[in-house]
Structure 1
């Protein structure tokens, strides 16, 4: 494997994590499973080894193609996200070009596909029984006669390793969104949706980012704003995917009880849906964990 191969791969992009650091460049992380809160370098946070690596089945070298696809989506979106954050902080509705809007939409959709937690939400895990049925059916189709019985199949390290590579490759393919069905779903998403924006101004309250990626937000308890899919892109700015004909707009969240409740509700939804949350304040992270 080449030395430059990206082994540690972020399911929450470094480009996004860097925006949630404190003034000293630290990201405050809350891990619900381990019940720990700690400061971490964003380069090391919310990542897994070889999460998007495509593994071969014939002993050829692994490929970083899925990681590279996600990297291009991030790079395309980064300037548009910079523009969104800058405009929102000035109280202006971001005036995105068609290309910039598409880049932000692709980025938001990728955030819904790429995290392990979001993948578990939208798909049923492939059980050993399911997997063996698929493999044996394919073996019958091609006339392969050396497939062992199911119990022996999963007791054999070589076959079990083969099964694990397929599972990991399928998850990485889903994250990258290159399957023809997902390409069509992306086209429809871009055609059918707009992006709204929200900014927290004149208030000290801030958003967190979660390991689920996007936040599915039921806004009813907080006055009906931001219902649907939201994604914090900075501690004080988030994007909100809405279906047309709703047009882009900017929700300014100020220092009043209703606005305070809205930020709290978004953060609580992010925390419920995520095993790990991160933000620019230890106090904020502690307030959200039990």
Structure 2
């Protein structure tokens, strides 16, 4: 069977919730060189080839992590649909313990699976330093591996394989203590009241909001925020078994939240060309000619 190639780090089931009436999104990427947002299908944005694939020595690719992400997305998609439908209808929503845990696990997984996440950037920036320290410790213990080490250091393909597999390991790893901790967080759902306002979705779509006093999840005012549609944002809250619902009436908060998303992301997408372009202008891009 041919291995899956295009791996979405923001899944299509989430992107569709930000699409316009043509089932497309207005998309912009800093490195694209294009001055204006482009209208794209969800399938054609927010992906990298073989991003979630472990590279085997045989040259084959193990895409089991991509399968695991797809299974998680299939579990969360109907729950997101229920949350969005009830939020937009103004109905009270009380999630079960299982649903709250699923939401928290999904938000955490989405936070760490993107190429611009902290863990992925750390591997990209610090791989050589980690490699050299590990080799130094190995040589201090014994010199019998010197020839093997030199062969490996001269093999760029082997080193890229190790780096990629470390990335996959970080994305896959779920410490039992972290899982237990996530299960104890309450979940909040925010809905935009002003029909003229909307959230965008970005290539690094989870924002961590903190307070002056704390940056620890579970503390008051601290949480992971993930927009799950153009009108609804899901977030982790304090420890407890509640589901917190709120109407977002502060237009400035919405704007600042979108700016925070864009400030940590290379790609931006949304249902409105004007909204996406307004956020790229803030980032210093040239004026886009209207058509």
1:56 Cα deviation from its structure 2 partner: 0.9
CA contact (8 A) 1:27 1:42 kept: yes
Quote the residue 1:20 is aligned against.
Answer: 18
Q: Normalized against structure 1, the TM-score is what? A: 0.84
Identify the residue that residue 144 of structure 1 maps to in structure 2.
145
Q: Which runs of 5+ in 2 are unaligned?
A: 213-219, 282-291
> What residue in structure 2 maps to residue 237 of structure 1?
232
CA contact (8 A) 2:120 2:167 kept: no
Closer, same or farther: CA 19–218 of 1 in aligned 2, 3 Å: same
Counterpart CA distance in 1 for 2:279 and 2:100 is 32
Which of 253, 260, 263 is the equivalent residue of 1:269? 260
Per-residue deviation at 1:217? Answer: 3.4
User: 1:62 maps to what in 2?
Assistant: 61
Structure 2 distance, partners of 1:35, 1:92, is 44
Shift in Å, 1:90: 1.1
Residues in 2 aligned to 1:160 and 1:132: alpha-carbon distance in whole angstroms: 14
The residue number in structure 2 matching 1:186 is: 179
Please list the CA deviations of residues 185-220 of structure 1 after superposition, one character each: whole Å capped at 9, or x if unmatched.
2221222x1110101134210001111120123689
Q: Structure 1: which 5+ residue stretches go unaligned?
A: none
Among 163, 170, 175, which residue is 2:166 paired with?
170
Q: How many angstroms apart in 1 are the aligned matches of 2:210 and 2:32?
A: 27
Q: How many residues align?
A: 270
**Corresponding position of 1:33:** 31
Secondary structure at 2:116 match in 1? helix
Alignment of structure 1 residues 98-177 onto 2, 5 Å: 98-120=97-119, 123=122, 125-135=125-135, 137=137, 144-149=145-150, 153-154=152-153, 156=154, 159-177=155-173
| Partner SS for 1:112 | helix
Partner of residue 83, structure 2: 84
CA contact (8 A) 1:8 1:50 kept: yes
Return the TM-score normalized by structure 2: 0.84
Corresponding position of 1:8: 6
